[in-house]
Structure 1
Amino acid sequence: MSSVRSRSVWLASLIAIVCVVTAVGGGMAWSARRQAERVARAMTGGDPARAHDIMRRYGCGGCHTIPGLAGADGQVGPPLTGLVHRIYVGGVANNSPDNLIKWIVSPQTFTPRSAMPATGITEAEARDVAAYLYAQ
């Protein structure tokens, strides 16, 4: 009976430790995510919370795979994961918030032969999209 009880106590302790570690890890991930969003807002002047609706409205997911956007699994343009770590935007311009925003609004300004169309997105909307992409 004693060994069964000690095993139960050990198992309960192990479960408690796993729950604490998971909660702390999840909290750290949430905190890192919030920090990335704050930095992205400061870099772009945009609001990543508005980006999902904007990207759906302009059909961005038809050409790009976009993290966190349901149905955005396009294969025409590059996936937009890890954009903050890339050196170039569109393969032609240094990756900076200003260049990304300009690229989203008018890619042909950088390269007339770009396959990315001018969608009619406004600069304010492009700032929101850029903030979202940099926060990922």
Structure 2
Amino acid sequence: MRWPRLVLPSLLAAVLLGGGAWWRLRQPGEDERVARAITGGDPARAPALLRRYGCAGCHTIPGVPGADGKVAAPLAGLRARVYIGGVVPNTAENLVVWLLDPRALSPRTAMPATGITEAEARDVAAYLYSR
């Protein structure tokens, strides 16, 4: 079988870059721009929020000083996960709902409702998706 000229390089690139390595081709700052667009939040405001609402006490969170909790899952690479809290598909809207009221999605979760506002939850979601 003879492959068209453009298909073979594309297939080769897909094989060589497989396993999620496509992110290496993105431009600097693209993760943050995408995170802002899908969440409507500002990731720059999140580190202070993550400390204020106690997230840092339970989670290890990249880029947040003192966020080295061992109670709950580390939050590095959250955008690549399939589920949030192990129960709902990983979408921006589900993440915001999870941050607002985790027990609405998983009544038996150990994660408490923190009192975070929707705007703050969007900022936190943008931060987590940009890391």
- TM-score normalized by structure 2? 0.79
Deviations 1:50-97 (A, max 9, x none): 001111111111000000001100011100000000000000000000
Shift of 1:33: 4.1
Partner AA of 1:131 in structure 2: A
User: Is the helix fraction higher in 1 or 2?
Assistant: 1
Q: Could you tell me which residue of structure 2 aligns to residue 99 of structure 1?
A: 94
Residues 1:53 and 2:48 aligned together: yes
- Distance across 1 between alignment mates of 2:90 and 2:28: 21
Unaligned ranges ≥5, structure 1: 1-28
Question: Considering only CA atoms, is the larger Rg found in Structure 1 or Structure 2?
Answer: 1
- Distance across 1 between alignment mates of 2:35 and 2:100: 18
- Distance across 1 between alignment mates of 2:27 and 2:93: 24
RMSD of Structure 2 on Structure 1 (CA): 1.3
1:74 maps to which of 55, 69, 72: 69
70 and 32 in structure 1: CA distance in 2 versus 1, 3 angstrom threshold: farther
Q: Could you tell me which residue of structure 1 aligns to residue 82 of structure 2?
A: 87
Matched pairs, number: 107
- Matched residues, percent identical? 63
**SS of equivalent to 2:67:** coil
**SS of equivalent to 2:37:** helix
Shift of 1:32: 3.6
- 5 Å-filtered alignment, 1:1-136, equals 32-136=27-131
Structure 1: which 4+ aligned runs deviate by more than 6 Å?
none
- TM-score normalized by structure 1? 0.76
- Distance across 1 between alignment mates of 2:77 and 2:107: 25
- Distance across 1 between alignment mates of 2:52 and 2:121: 12
- Distance across 2 between alignment mates of 1:100 and 1:124: 13
**SS of equivalent to 1:118:** coil
Partner AA of 1:76 in structure 2: V
